[in-house]
Structure 1
């Protein structure tokens, strides 16, 4: 596996709940899984650490970040800002081609979400959903014309997903996700900027006002 492909695979693994928060990542063990040198794996982990997806300390090695309510709140608030502005700019600047890609991304995500059995997702399905959900939200802002905004959003998204995935790994939010994603797409295609901003805010701020832990307790 080439280095870039290995980096992307490891990035997907550390944000999809495969490793527990705070779990140590041993370069020697991981490199044997992929048949690469320990130096190559260490470089991959160091690269992930620059994105905030892995913690590194001399003499202590690499670990996944611990969960932090404050960090999750800050990342959520930042996502609201970035996606609201990016989607608004995309509505103004986006072409018919962007609209078609947004519809396709939503269709793919909806197909995966419709196959989810709440409470018992497989690791493979969880990883597939993470990629599809990211593709949907990236496509939503892809027509904005601001590369810095898109790059910043991508970095924030991965850290946000890593903080949330452990508590949301049961897919308890899927029924509401399906409804909210459709509302966002419909508003974007109708070129209703104000409604898109409101729906994005409602979609993301539930992680502040009604975290999934509360939802699962109420549903038990």
Structure 2
């Protein structure tokens, strides 16, 4: 969706600027999923309006849309705020990602051909490159942003051949909410070494068309994100 900015010149309205609302939406979404804002920090619409150079109504429309995705909280009198990090929610989202990715990956293994395998290999190569850089360099907001985008691309490609659009759309929503709950720990790349190992095992199992091994490695990869509540871990194992 594009927003056209008109200015009156010589008695006529002419287009002076074109802004893609989707670009602003995705920019704000990525900033909310990164560690740029702290949990419960107020998101000021007026500051964003000035930053992006759009109207107040446009920014509020985008913020309300983000709130429907669970990435912003809105309350009367309190305005927009980044959601707080809650252990129970983190666990629920982790479980849901395991369910979605196991189902989507198995279906992709069955349905995906050489083109899907090539896309998955390319997505893994890009992610692995960034993760190795993260392992060897000081953490930075720029590196975190690149890593989140590369990890999303890898996990989306993993389920891309499942032939279930609802599953893929739901997965994207859950992925961003999950990453938002984890971003405080993500920003220091504490788990990057494990992630490199996990992602390699997932892609190898997928390319070998081993459905059970793919599910096992996805669970091993995602279960590390559970808060330390033993009963939740037992539930995953069952």
Which interval holds the TM-score relative to the shorter structure?
Answer: over 0.9
Deviates further, 200-209 or 8-17? 200-209
Shift of 1:123: 0.6
Q: Could you tell me which residue of structure 2 aligns to residue 56 of structure 1?
A: 74
Q: Could you tell me which residue of structure 1 aligns to residue 24 of structure 2?
A: 6
Q: Could you tell me which residue of structure 2 aligns to residue 112 of structure 1?
A: 130
1:94 aligns with 2:112: yes
Bigger radius of gyration among the two: 2
Shift of 1:30: 0.9
Residue by residue, what CA displacement relative to the aligned partner does 1:64-111 show, whole Å, maximum 9, x if unpaired? 000000000000000000000100000000011000000000000001
Residues 94 and 49 from structure 1, CA distance in 2 versus in 1: closer, same or farther, beyond 3 angstroms? Answer: same
CA contact (8 A) 1:119 1:171 kept: no
What TM-score does the superposition give when structure 2 sets the normalisation length?
0.86
Of Structure 1 and Structure 2, the greater strand share is in: 2
CA contact (8 A) 1:118 1:171 kept: no
1:177 aligns with 2:195: yes
1:133 aligns with 2:151: yes
Question: Structure 2 CA distance, aligned partners of 1:174 and 1:163?
Answer: 17
CA contact (8 A) 1:110 1:178 kept: yes
Q: Could you tell me which residue of structure 2 aligns to residue 195 of structure 1?
A: 213
Question: Structure 2 CA distance, aligned partners of 1:59 and 1:152?
Answer: 31
Question: Structure 1 CA distance, aligned partners of 2:21 and 2:199?
Answer: 34
Of Structure 1 and Structure 2, the greater helix share is in: 1
CA contact (8 A) 2:140 2:187 kept: no
Residues 117 and 182 from structure 1, CA distance in 2 versus in 1: closer, same or farther, beyond 3 angstroms? Answer: closer
Residues 117 and 194 from structure 1, CA distance in 2 versus in 1: closer, same or farther, beyond 3 angstroms? Answer: closer
Question: Structure 2 CA distance, aligned partners of 1:199 and 1:72?
Answer: 20
Residue by residue, what CA displacement relative to the aligned partner does 1:22-55 show, whole Å, maximum 9, x if unpaired? 0000000111111111111111100000000000
Shift of 1:118: 6.4
Q: Could you tell me which residue of structure 1 aligns to residue 35 of structure 2?
A: 17
Question: Structure 1 CA distance, aligned partners of 2:80 and 2:170?
Answer: 24
Question: Structure 1 CA distance, aligned partners of 2:108 and 2:187?
Answer: 30
Greater relative CO, 1 or 2 (CA 8 Å, sep 6+):
1
Shift of 1:20: 0.4
Question: Structure 2 CA distance, aligned partners of 1:210 and 1:58?
Answer: 34
SS at match of 1:166: helix
Give ranges in structure 1 of 5+ residues lacking alignment.
Answer: 212-220
CA contact (8 A) 2:87 2:227 kept: no
Give ranges in structure 2 of 5+ residues lacking alignment.
Answer: 1-18, 230-238
Q: Give the ranges of 4+ consecutive aligned residues of structure 1 lying more than 6 Å apart after TM superposition.
A: none
Number of equivalences: 211
Shift of 1:120: 3.2
What TM-score does the superposition give when structure 1 sets the normalisation length?
0.93
Backbone CA RMSD of aligned residues: 1.4
